[in-house]
Every structure is written in structure tokens, then in C-alpha cells.
């Protein structure tokens, strides 16, 4: 896995240089679900989404990706509260992207594997804390933005278990994966609705209406770099984000 260091900056395309081109800065915040892991190009859904905005809408969209592997929602909130670089980036960007949740589950994984609790009971307190932290972070982002129009967009998580049972611990069942993904979707999309943003349903897109289909056989997940969306999966996520539009910017 690539461990985040300096923020990744994708330069905007130079093919369109008219003074009439609209410039909107993108800042991406999150954990390894946002760094591009699983995508051999490491462009990930963030860079692919920016490319769609350039190609289809002719926008000038410089991107700063501040995501890091292993970042929990508590660290996420702390950075937006006190990290000067993160706060400055948020204040200057018109499009804020959120992609986080996987790192928070590590604490529940440890409890489950140690036999300290069973199934959903290992993750319920972790996910409750995630929901509080995520909601508080989005609210703080809006406070930093003030009266300036801002497009808030978030991804949710797939069920990574179906099809990956041969490479993940046996304690990770399809039902547990479904519970995690559904609860994260509820928390993330709930915060987006509360604060005027939009989210995409990665669970439904990858794992079908019941959330239990094998996304690896569809080519949407990368099992060799388990368990992140593949290049195809990250492109689908970018497409879904593009379809959310750019309200309230346009």
C-alpha cells in the first residue's frame, strides 16, 4: 500500500486556456479509500472525476488530494480543526470530496479477531463514533467556507467480502461486510443531506440491490491489492459522482 506523504496535486489540462474557462479547485479529504489504492495508475476516483469535469464541461479543475492511508475519522476531524494546510485548502476550494470509513473499521476488526465481541457488536460503537466525527467534520468544512458556494460530494463503501474470502480473515463474513457498508452509507449520506451535499451509492453499484454480489468478478474490485476498487471500479465511482451535478455551483 502507498502511504500518503505530501499531498498529491493533479495539474489541470492545458488544452483549454481561454479566459472564459471556469476554474474550480477540488480538495479531497479521506483515508486510503481516496488515495487511489487499488488503481494501478493511482489516479483513483478523485483524479478520474476531475478528468471528467475537464473533458465534458471544459472546466479548469486543479486538484489537491490530502487523503492518507490509515486516517481515522477522529484524525480527519482533528485535521480540519487545527491543521493549517488542510484548513487553507478547504477555504480555497469550491468542490470538497470526502472518502473515508475503512480505517475506522480496523478497531472493530481487532476486537472481533480477539474474540472480545461478536459480529455487529464489534463494529456498532466504532461506526457510531464515525458518524459523529464525519458529521462534525462536514459541518466544520462548511463553517470554514463561510458564505461561499461549495459543492460537497462523498463516496460510500462497497461490501468488500463477497469473492474475497480466500484472502481475508474468516471472521469477515458477507453479512458483516454488508452491515459495515450499509451503516457507513447511512452515516455518510445522512451527513451529506444534512449539510446540503450529495453522496453516491457504491454499495448498490458494486454489489447489487441486496449488497451481496461479487464485485471482483465484475472487475470492479482489486483482490490482489485487497480490498480496494480497481481502475474500472474507480472509474465507475467517478462517473457516479459526475452524475450528481455541481449544485450549488451551477
| Interval 39-82: pLDDT, tens | 999 999 999 999 999 999 999 999 999 999 999 999 999 999 99
And the C-alpha cell for 23? 476554474
Residue 119 has pLDDT above 90, yes or no: no
And the C-alpha cell for 93? 476550494
What is the model's pLDDT at position 172?
87
| pLDDT per position as a tens digit, 147-201 | 999 999 999 999 999 999 999 988 889 999 999 999 999 999 999 999 999 999 9
What percentage of the chain reaches a pLDDT higher than 70?
92
Q: Which residues fall within 8 angstroms of residue 155, CB to CB, at 6 or more apart? A: 33, 34, 45, 97, 98, 99, 188, 199, 200, 202, 237, 241
Q: What is the DSSP string of 85-100?
A: HHHHHHHH-SEEEEE-
When the pLDDT of each residue in the chain is averaged and rounded to a whole number, the result is 91
pTM of the model as a whole: 0.91
User: Dmax of the chain from CA atoms?
Assistant: 62
Residue 248 has pLDDT above 90, yes or no: yes
Give all domains of the chain, ordered by start, each with its CATH number. 8-243 (3.40.50.1110)
Mean pLDDT of 88-98: 98
Phi and psi, residue 57, nearest 5°:
-115, -5
What is the model's pLDDT at position 20?
60
What is the model's pLDDT at position 170?
86
Residue 19 has pLDDT above 60, yes or no: no
Q: What angle do CA 188, 36, 120 make, to 5 degrees?
A: 40
Amino acid at each position: 500500500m502507498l502511504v500518503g506523504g505530501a499531498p498529491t496535486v493533479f495539474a489541470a489540462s492545458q488544452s483549454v486556456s481561454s479566459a472564459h474557462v471556469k476554474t474550480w479547485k477540488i480538495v479531497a479529504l479521506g483515508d486510503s479509500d481516496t488515495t487511489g489504492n487499488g488503481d494501478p495508475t493511482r489516479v483513483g476516483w478523485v483524479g478520474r472525476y476531475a478528468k471528467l469535469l475537464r473533458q465534458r464541461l471544459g472546466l479548469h479543475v486543479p486538484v489537491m488530494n490530502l487523503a492518507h492511508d490509515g486516517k481515522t475519522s477522529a484524525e480527519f476531524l482533528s485535521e480540519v480543526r487545527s491543521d493549517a494546510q488542510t484548513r487553507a485548502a478547504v477555504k480555497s476550494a469550491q468542490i470538497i470530496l470526502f472518502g473515508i470509513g475503512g480505517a475506522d473499521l480496523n478497531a472493530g476488526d481487532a476486537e472481533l479477531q480477539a474474540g472480545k465481541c461478536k459480529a455487529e457488536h464489534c463494529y456498532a460503537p466504532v461506526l457510531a463514533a464515525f458518524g459523529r466525527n464525519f458529521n462534525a467534520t462536514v459541518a466544520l468544512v462548511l463553517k470554514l467556507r463561510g458564505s461561499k458556494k461549495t459543492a460537497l460530494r462523498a463516496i460510500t463503501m462497497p461490501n468488500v467480502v463477497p469473492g474475497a474470502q480466500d484472502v481475508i480473515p474468516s471472521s469477515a463474513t458477507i453479512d458483516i461486510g454488508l452491515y459495515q457498508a450499509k451503516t457507513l452509507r447511512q452515516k455518510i449520506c445522512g451527513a451529506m443531506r444534512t449539510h446540503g451535499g450529495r453522496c453516491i451509492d457504491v454499495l448498490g453499484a458494486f454489489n447489487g440491490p441486496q449488497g451481496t454480489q461479487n464485485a471482483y468478478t465484475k472487475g470492479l474490485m482489486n483482490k490482489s491489492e485487497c480490498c480496494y476498487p480497481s481502475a474500472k471500479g474507480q472509474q465507475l465511482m467517478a462517473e457516479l459522482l459526475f452524475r450528481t451535478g455541481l449544485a450549488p455551483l451551477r
